[in-house]
Chain A
Amino acid sequence: MKITKFMNAVMMTAAITFGGGAVQAQQSGGSLVFLVQPEPPTMAGYVSTSGPIGLLGPKIYDGLFDYDNDGKMIPVLAESVDMSEDGKTVTFNLRKGVTWHDGKPFTSADVQFTIMDVLKKVHPRGPNSFKEVSSIDTPDAHTVVLNLDNPAPYMLRALSAYESPMVPKHLLEGEDIKSAKLANNPVGTGPFKFTEWKKGQYIRLDKNETYWKEGRPYIDRIVGRFIPDASTRASAMEKGEVLYAAYNAVSNVEAVRLNKEKDNISITTDGYSMINPMALIEFNTKEGPFTDAVVRRAISTAIDRQFMLDTIFFGYGNPATSALSSNFAATGLHAEMPHYPANGDVAAANKMLDDAGYKKDSDGVRMTAMFDLIPYGEDWKRGGQYIQQVLGEIGIQVELRYEDVPTWLKRIYHNYDFEMNLNYFYQLADPVLGVHRHYGTNMIRKGTHFVNSSRYSNAGLDALLGAGMKEPNAESRSAIYLEIQNILARDMPVVNLFELEFLTVYNTKLKGAYGSAMGAYSSFGDAYLEE
């Protein structure tokens, strides 16, 4: 009895905190508690693109632009961008009157420093995105001129707060950027200021009262909570302790249930179009049982992609139909290819192997192999176990190996000590950014993660990839990528399984958080809470 009473008192206090403000279209105030999974090591979004940092960084740091769901650029710190005729000079006009959270003004020098000394040097993807930038001029405090060696149209798609956060020069200059204090005490220009990080519990951000955008943000406080256990995350969501969970922080099965059972909880697949995650199997093409493309094609043919999506991901996602995500169809780069049957065809796969002369022994086994699984949770383990069974049906007996992340990374990308590996890659906003790294000969980089671990090397393909990167004409580019997909469907160094659809689960009282293509990786400056 006593406990209940005590409980009610606490809950009421909580309710009061949530429910401040008048009933309006866009209310101010309130605390947004959302799930960050897992807890990030630091908040240095300029050093790491790791997911949890992405959830918090863009609330603190602004980018030059944001992107809407159609891919259109939304001005943020840059009010506009001009590109010269030859594509080799890019000029940003910066917003005036923007200040850092510590009160210092934001100027072109910050942008110059960020791109040249931070992103190009220590950011994991920055060196690629800004590869062509040779120097930056700052004619005045609000104008930035990028001088490029070659045109780089894809660069303009990498200017979000997540990909390229603008960082304060005055706090980083002269420091070792990777170990600067800023990593744990971030100071940005974004709508929320960093207040407190209780390790193991939460990161608390409070409203930036001097945010450049009038009346924004609406929310008083954003708290990113860390809950290691998936079931508990779902429970916290169900109970309303947290209001927003992106990147499958609440598992699909629970998300679907909550959506169905709870009136105030909804789900969406929006906000992931810049990510394009693709589940796949990487093969060791240099040694072991999978050096022959026929075997790889047979495996691709046998797997029932739709079954995996339906059972493991509860219907979210689409079967892969080529090496590229169908999301690239909008830009004309995607085409359906053979050997990607959505429902799998074990008989056809068996026939392919029979024809190629792989005989079954008395136990029905043609070959044995070790199958590594990405150590990112039980969904992937379950997927691996399904594939194990299917491969058994076509006479390939595999043993599963599920190690911890560091061991697995070392094995796949450093030692190449694997035969086949279940994995997923972000294909990102453009194949140049997310797909080329998987197939190019120049991307066989021992020790670099998430590149060409199959060690597949094809001079013809390399040439096509190079052409695809530079080709400005959409139609010619489409033709180039059609050829690329044909080659990959034939050689299959990687068997694409399905395009993942991440789910965002949210409490319906949270509004206005879904307009950006960056989804959860956006600033939440326009988000508000409605009672």
Chain B
Amino acid sequence: MTNSLLKISNVDISLPEGSERLLAVENLCIDLVPGETLCIVGESGSGKSLTARALMGLLPAPHVKVTQGQIDFCGEDLTKVTERRLREIRGSEISMIFQEPMTALNPVMTIGGQIDEIFRYHVSMSAAERRERAIQLLDDVQLPDPAQIVNSYPHELSGGQRQRAMIAMALALEPKILIADEPTTALDVTTQAQILKLISDMQAVHQTGVLFITHDFGVVADIADRVAVMQYGHVVETGTVDKVLNNPEHPYTQALISSVPSLVPRSARARSEETVLEVKNVNKTFGGGSSFFKFGKPSRVVDAVKDVTIELRRGETLGVVGESGSGKSTLARCIIRLMDSDSGQIILNEVNICDLNRAEMRPWRAKIQMVFQDPFASLNPRVKIGQIIRQGPIIQGATQEEAEARTLELLEIVGLDERAFNRYPHEFSGGQRQRIGIARALALNPEILVADEPVSALDVSIQTQILSLLDEIRTKMNLSMVFITHDLRVAAQVCDRLAVMRYGEIVETGATADIFDAPQHSYTRDLLAAVPGQNWER
């Protein structure tokens, strides 16, 4: 192709000595034409982010660098050009947006100031002109009141607004290529839909070539023209979006795609008559407390959970879905008494556990357990796996021997080698850690498991494994589960019933299939509409 914007051929990127593998990226060949969106898909560690950085000449030197191959950008080899030329290209001809807009923006500089720099460095314009352009750009990315936002600091904007500002910055000089490194991963699903639309709109206007890096096949289905799938530094498959998504050739691609949960809810199971947990009119607010020494005005009050009532039957999985800030995690923590609710009742086996003090609560702890989101933060890095799992039963009165036997049994149940017993958490992968977290929760033989986004930090293939593990255990132990998630695809596959939360309130409850088929509340409809890749169903 003669009008190719970018042609990457045979690129190797080295890793520092002592890393897991020698090369982060090996023999990479990719090309990109104007107006096209190329998605690079892969799980963590596949080398997709480093590829993006390599294009910008932003690899963390000196240990990580391109050791071989060419990156041909409009006739120039980016691996050979001077640093000075590279700087000229960055921001003006190739620009980039990142996953986490909060940290990617300088916290102590105004949005306007950060946009302004691009003009100052790449074109000559008067200050007034630059400001005007900045406001114009912010308007283009549909930020409200751009004249004010131009003087705002990043922390004053919401996550979506920050990402819009990042895009405005990236598109300031109408670059030929936009590299987007997981730009919507940190965003809520409705915001994600807006940002994706914005990117494709801007692309249409400027005929930008977009290199979009993501792990989410839904997103791929929505925006990609072509797809490159990466695994362990290799591109295992490339092709048009239709070909790769619907007729994957490489087994890895096939496996990945088959791991993506379907949006069609799984068939409902019979609902038990026995209620195991009842949450009645629970409220929880944050802030507003003024302490003894501080005389200042009380801080802002946030209703995190507002008059929530839910019921969980035996053997049932109740999904609580909502976007960030909807109060779903707070609700989970209130249920498990990690937080004290302000009012309302949480009835477990006919006892309102809200009235129990710490000591009284202790025996009840065994009945209701939790699986946490972050497999890295939820295991104490200084404690061995055996101890992590064992200490629950010991606290609940088991002998050392009993606890140890139970631990080994659990390790087997969650699919880990018993040698794990004497190892530390850092020796395990994310998926394995989540298994350990589940084993810890199960060690007490709970009746109810509260799972707070248990798979959202995991790669899609691991996600499937963990979900099926949970399913397996649920059946085996007749567990009832409260499953918190933001991912409607996961919810569809796991939950018998759903409760949709927004701003601390439950806007809708019902059987999963009913909600997916006929959402009652407008918010539920919005949520469902925003799920990427709706039109693609494998």
Question: A–B direct touch, CB within 8 Å, in complex?
Answer: no
User: A residues within 8 Å of B by Cβ?
Assistant: none
Residues of B within 8 A of A (CB): none
